[in-house]
Chains A and B, each alone.
Chain A
Amino acid sequence: MNEQLNFEVPTMAELIAKGEEPEILFWVGCAGSYDERAQKTTRDICKILHHVGIKYAVLGTEESCTGDPAKRAGNEFLFQMQAMTNIEVLNAYNIKKIVTGCPHCFNTIKNEYPGLGGTYEVIHHTQLIQDLINDGKLKAEGGESFKGKKITYHDPCYLGRGNGIYEAPRKALEVLDAQLVEMKRCKSNGLCCGAGGAQMFKEPEKGNKDINIERIEEALETQPQIIAAGCPFCMTMLSDGIKLKDQNENVQVLDIAEITVRANGL
């Protein structure tokens, strides 16, 4: 599959220069911008946006960290500095609606920015995909068939428990006509991948197991062909876990955006 984008990704600066406004801003996030695996998801979200013809834009180099990891690590100063700088940019561009590729960015912009002067309608990309499916703009045809494949979905904490979004990602998988299997700990009882609360950026404390191993073992119990994720940090933790369990030949860890793109042959 050609991963190269065969279209230009529009930036806010370009749109404004043309006197245009986007329907929605795609907030890529740091992982989506720099992490090689997450970049793939980022491009796939763009492919979906491009495919359905939504007028969208990204901030490009004008985007900066939302401040989420700083806030969870306890550095409220740095968080608010980042937040206020970002809000200034977003407000200057008169942004109304944002889609994010990361539950952490999603949570921060949706819940923590309004109190600092940045109020937007914020959705996660799995919600966008669900909306597009509901509106009939997106189907699961013309691409790879997932029919009958065993898929288990891992709830990201900041999407699930953090914001009560359990159905959208599952809806996006239901159209595949695949066999969805739930892990023992799922939805509001879902087990963290181990990366939240700034853990992504440090070694774990002393213990008898890594959290992602505990999670991947549970995921493997469902004997899936695909583990579906909706968060770049979960993606890293689960992929690492699969490699450590020597299962990367048998089980794929895929973001829901990637699955959608494959199913539609985009």
Chain B
Amino acid sequence: MVSQIIFIAITLAAVALFSYNLRKIIRNIRLGKAANRTDQPQKRIMTMVKVAFGQTKMFFRPIPAFLHLIVYAGFVIINLEVLEIMIDGAFGTHRVFGGLGSLYNALIGSFEILAFGVWLACAIFLIRRNVLKLKRFTGVEMTKWPKSDANYILITEILLMSAFLTMNAADAKLQLLGSGHYINAGAFPISQYLQNLLPDTEGSLVAIERGCWWFHIIGIFAFLNYLPYSKHFHIMFAFPNTYFSNLEPKGEFTNMKSVTNEVKAMLDPSFTPEEAEAGRFGAKDVNDLSWVNLMNAYTCTECGRCTSVCPANITGKLLSPRKIMMDTRDRLEEVGKNIDKTGNGFDDGKSLIDTYITREEIWACTSCNACTQACPINIDPLAIITDLRRYAVMEESQSPASISAMLGNIENNGAPWKYSPADRFNWAKES
């Protein structure tokens, strides 16, 4: 009875803390400007099913895709087991689904195989990061915290899977001993090999089984509450992120409505603009970006596929699309904390541009869309870069001298070079 109360209390606390943090993050995302991403719901659902559930974009790199698929399947399917754990914990039952007989055995058996797969995949991921030191996991933005974050996630998953398998091994041994409520249920294709490592006395086995059971479920709750601080948030946000992803051709940049109003008024003095959202042109800080950009930032898993295909980054420039996303999230978290402390409207004198992202980075982008193509969950660093450029050019009139000259040429001659419009048709006359 006591353990049931403790279990329910821990569950409620974990869920409450998580929803508290999740609400804050949603509030932060809502600091962003409006963006219309609710059209074509059918196409959006299909995109989510293909890209997030089906992980189609992952398979561009087959090895990590395969390993990731095991971890993903393990996560989703082993959650069925968590359902049993929740019921057992709340009602003081043991293996409540055990009555399902051979179906239950098949389920537990497959969970074990998956758990072992997850264990192995995470171990390989750790080796890739820490021993092989793949280039994709390095870079200026991959400082101590992002590297530790990745390792914590992998180690936690290995520990959770180890606890699950050890729990089953102890349980199976107790079943053989005919101990108390340890009914004969389950198949143990993996954990059977652990049985010999465990003690033979009933008391220690019960202690191990219970210990692992509690470790497993508390571990899951702890992991849940770690998500809001971690890159691992993608396990949730990948779904809305792909649902709300850009469905237009990648080459198309948004037309800024606020600018359309001004340009129309300039060309036609009788034009009366519709209400447009006030604010600055482009983005100086995170709240000038759209909520989609901000959600993108919380979704980013820092896998670095974007950066590894970025032509600027490949050739040694400072720009890294992954850093753009990480900076956006870090700055948004900072702005969120400012709001927590002092309410809206507090100015800490910092901004996304300059404090986090330098001018050198934004001007190195070729807008080639390699990053958006490479992202397995449709994150768009290019949209943020473009909005930062818009701020620099339209609000500050600051751009590299040659860019300013190019803009001047378009304005004066209708071409980015210094040629006379009168000569535009000369190509047909000369040889």
Q: CA–CA, A116 to B261, complex, Å?
A: 11
Complex interface: stretch among B75-83, B97-105, B385-393: B385-393
Q: CA–CA, A77 to B255, complex, Å?
A: 10
Q: Are A80 and B255 in contact (CB under 8 A)?
A: yes
CB under 8 Å from chain A, chain B span 245-304: 248-253, 255-256, 259-260, 262-264, 266-267, 281-282
Cβ of A71 under 8 Å from chain B: yes
Q: Are A202 and B424 in contact (CB under 8 A)?
A: no
Q: Are B319 and A32 in contact (CB under 8 A)?
A: no
Residues of A within 8 A of B263 (CB): 77, 80-81, 84
Q: CA–CA, A91 to B264, complex, Å?
A: 16
Q: A28-B427, A111-B251, A162-B250 are in contact. Are A78 and B368 (CB under 8 A)?
A: no
Closest chain-B Cβ to A50's Cβ sits at a distance in Å of: 12
Closest chain-B Cβ to A217's Cβ sits at a distance in Å of: 11
Cβ of B227 under 8 Å from chain A: no
Q: Are A74 and B416 in contact (CB under 8 A)?
A: no
Q: A69-B416, A80-B263, A192-B366 are in contact. Are A107 and B427 (CB under 8 A)?
A: no
Cβ of A33 under 8 Å from chain B: yes
Q: CA–CA, A4 to B431, complex, Å?
A: 5
Q: A28-B427, A202-B402 are in contact. Are A76 and B369 (CB under 8 A)?
A: no
Residue on A with the closest CB to B363?
Answer: A205
Cβ of A42 under 8 Å from chain B: yes
Number of interface residues of B (CB under 8 A): 69
Contacting residue for B406 out of A58, A73, A191, CB 8 A? A73
Q: Are B366 and A76 in contact (CB under 8 A)?
A: no
Q: Are B423 and A34 in contact (CB under 8 A)?
A: yes
Cβ of B342 under 8 Å from chain A: no
Q: CA–CA, A163 to B319, complex, Å?
A: 24
Residues of A within 8 A of B319 (CB): 205
CB under 8 Å from chain A, chain B span 125-144: none
Q: Are B403 and A196 in contact (CB under 8 A)?
A: no
Q: Are A211 and B315 in contact (CB under 8 A)?
A: yes
Q: CA–CA, A91 to B416, complex, Å?
A: 24
Cβ of A143 under 8 Å from chain B: no
Across the A-B interface, the 7 shortest Cβ-Cβ residue pairs: A162-B251, A197-B367, A74-B389, A208-B316, A64-B414, A207-B316, A111-B252
- A contact residues vs B (CB 8 Å cutoff): 2-5, 8-9, 11, 28, 30, 32-34, 39, 42-43, 46, 58, 60-61, 63-65, 67, 69-78, 80-82, 84-85, 107, 110-112, 115-116, 157-158, 161-164, 185, 188-192, 194-211, 213-215
Given A2-B431, A5-B428, A34-B419, list of 12 further CB < 8 A pairs?
A33-B427, A34-B427, A72-B386, A73-B399, A76-B259, A76-B281, A76-B282, A80-B259, A189-B373, A191-B311, A192-B311, A196-B367
What are 16 A-B contacts with C-beta separation under 8 Å?
A: A30-B414, A39-B427, A63-B424, A65-B410, A81-B266, A82-B410, A85-B267, A189-B309, A189-B373, A202-B400, A203-B400, A203-B402, A204-B315, A206-B316, A209-B315, A211-B366
